[in-house]
C-alpha cells in the first residue's frame, strides 16, 4: 500500500507570495491533518479535514487554509507569506476522524518551505 | 491545559547501550491516547506505538519497550541494545478524545534527539 505523499518536497517563496501544498493520503484513509514543524515551536497542529469538511483547527492565523477533495486528497494554502512561515509542513492521514480516537496517523515526508 | 514534556533534548549513547527516553504529559481528559513517533533525518514521522488511557500494560516490541504509568503521567520509551540506525529524533504525543471539546489532534513534545555512536 502506498504511503502518504506530499508535493512538492521543497519550495522557495518570497515574502508576500502565496503557496499551495498538496497531500495524498493512504488509500482508504478519509482524514487528513496538517502540521507545521519549526525549530522554535516544534510540531504544531494546523487543521484536520474529513469527508471534505474541516473538523478541527489549531491556533494559526487565517492566512493558513486548506481543503479536501472527494478523493480525500488535501491541499493547504498559505497566503501573504511571512519569513516565520518557513517550516516543514507535514501531512498525516488516518482512517477515521481524529476525535474518534481510534486511529493512528501516518505521516508523509513533508514539504520544506523556505520564505525569503 | 494539555502538554507533553520531553525533558531530554539530546542523548548520546554508544551502540549496544540501553537508553530510556522520558515523556511526561498533562491532560484533564480521562480518555486520551499517547504515541511515540520516530523522525529520522529524512524528515518523515514514523509511527511506533499508540496506547490508550485505559490500558496501562507495558508493551515490548523487539528491542523497543514502553512503560505507561498514569500515577506519574509518564509514558517512557526504552531501546535495548541500541543500534546506529536508532539515531533519530523521537517524539512523544498526546491525543485527547474525551469531553470538553477535545478533538483528537496530536499534541507533541519537543522531541529527544538520540545519537547512537558505533
Q: Nearest Cα to B49, choosing from B29, B73, B75?
A: B75
When CB atoms are compared, the residue of B46, B104, B111 closest to A100 is B104
pLDDT at B5 over 90: yes
A1 versus A83: the higher-pLDDT residue is A83
When CB atoms are compared, the residue of A33, A43, A55 closest to B108 is A43
So what's the pLDDT on residue B55? 86
Helix (H, G, I), strand (E, B) or coil at A30: coil
- pLDDT category at A88 given cuts 50, 70, 90 is very high
**Percent of the residues in chain A that have a pLDDT greater than 90, as a whole number:** 84
Angstrom distance (rounded) from CA B52 to CA A59: 25
- pLDDT category at A72 given cuts 50, 70, 90 is very high
Nearest CA of chain A to the CA of B17: how many Å?
28
Q: What is the arithmetic mean of pLDDT over A5-16?
A: 97
Judge: B52–A101 Cβ closer than 8 Å, yes or no.
yes
pLDDT in tens, B14-64: 999 999 999 999 998 888 899 999 999 888 899 999 998 988 888 888 999
Task: Enumerate the residues of chain A whose CB falls inside 8 A of the CB of residue B102.
Answer: 99
So what's the pLDDT on residue B101? 58
Mutate which of B43, B47, B50, B93 to test chain A, going by most A C-beta atoms within 10 A? Answer: B43
- Residue B35 sits at the chain A interface (C-beta within 8 Å): yes
Task: Enumerate the residues of chain A whose CB falls inside 8 A of the CB of residue B105.
Answer: 33, 45, 48, 56, 58, 98
pLDDT in tens, B83-106: 999 999 999 999 888 665 567 788
Evaluate whether A1 touches A20 at the Cβ level (below 8 Å): no
Question: What secondary structure, in 3-state letters, does chain B show?
Answer: CCEEECCCCEEEEECCCCEEECCEEECCCCCEEEEEEEECCCCCCEEEEEEECCCCCCEEECCEEEEEEHHHCEEEEEECCCCHHHCEEEEEEEEECCCCCCCCCEEECCCEEEEEEC
pLDDT at B2 over 70: yes
- Residue B48 sits at the chain A interface (C-beta within 8 Å): no
- pLDDT category at A102 given cuts 50, 70, 90 is low
Task: Enumerate the residues of chain A whose CB falls inside 8 A of the CB of residue B32.
Answer: 101
**Percent of the residues in chain A that have a pLDDT greater than 70, as a whole number:** 97
Amino acid at each position: 500500500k502506498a504511503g502518504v505523499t506530499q508535493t512538492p518536497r521543497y519550495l522557495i517563496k518570497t515574502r508576500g507570495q502565496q503557496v499551495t501544498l498538496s497531500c495524498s493520503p493512504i488509500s482508504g484513509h478519509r482524514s487528513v491533518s496538517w502540521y507545521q514543524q519549526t525549530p522554535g515551536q516544534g510540531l504544531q497542529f494546523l487543521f484536520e479535514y474529513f469527508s471534505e469538511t474541516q473538523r478541527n483547527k489549531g491556533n494559526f492565523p487565517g492566512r493558513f487554509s486548506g481543503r479536501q477533495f472527494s478523493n480525500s486528497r488535501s491541499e493547504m494554502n498559505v497566503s501573504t507569506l511571512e519569513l516565520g512561515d518557513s517550516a516543514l509542513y507535514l501531512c498525516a492521514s488516518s482512517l477515521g476522524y481524529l476525535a474518534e480516537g481510534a486511529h493512528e496517523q501516518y505521516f508523509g515526508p513533508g514539504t520544506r518551505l523556505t520564505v525569503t | 491545559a494539555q502538554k507533553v514534556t520531553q525533558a531530554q533534548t539530546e542523548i548520546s549513547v554508544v551502540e549496544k547501550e540501553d537508553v530510556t527516553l522520558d515523556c511526561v504529559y498533562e491532560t484533564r481528559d480521562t480518555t486520551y491516547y499517547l504515541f511515540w513517533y520516530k523522525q529520522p533525518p529524512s524528515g518523515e514521522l514514523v509511527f511506533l506505538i499508540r496506547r490508550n488511557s485505559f490500558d496501562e500494560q507495558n508493551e515490548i516490541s523487539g528491542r523497543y519497550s514502553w512503560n505507561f504509568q498514569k500515577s506519574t503521567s509518564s509514558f517512557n520509551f526504552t531501546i535495548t541494545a541500541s543500534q546506529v540506525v536508532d539515531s533519530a529524533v523521537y517524539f512523544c504525543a498526546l491525543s485527547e478524545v474525551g469531553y470538553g471539546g477535545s478533538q483528537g489532534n496530536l499534541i507533541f513534545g519537543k522531541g529527544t534527539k538520540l545519537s547512537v555512536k558505533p
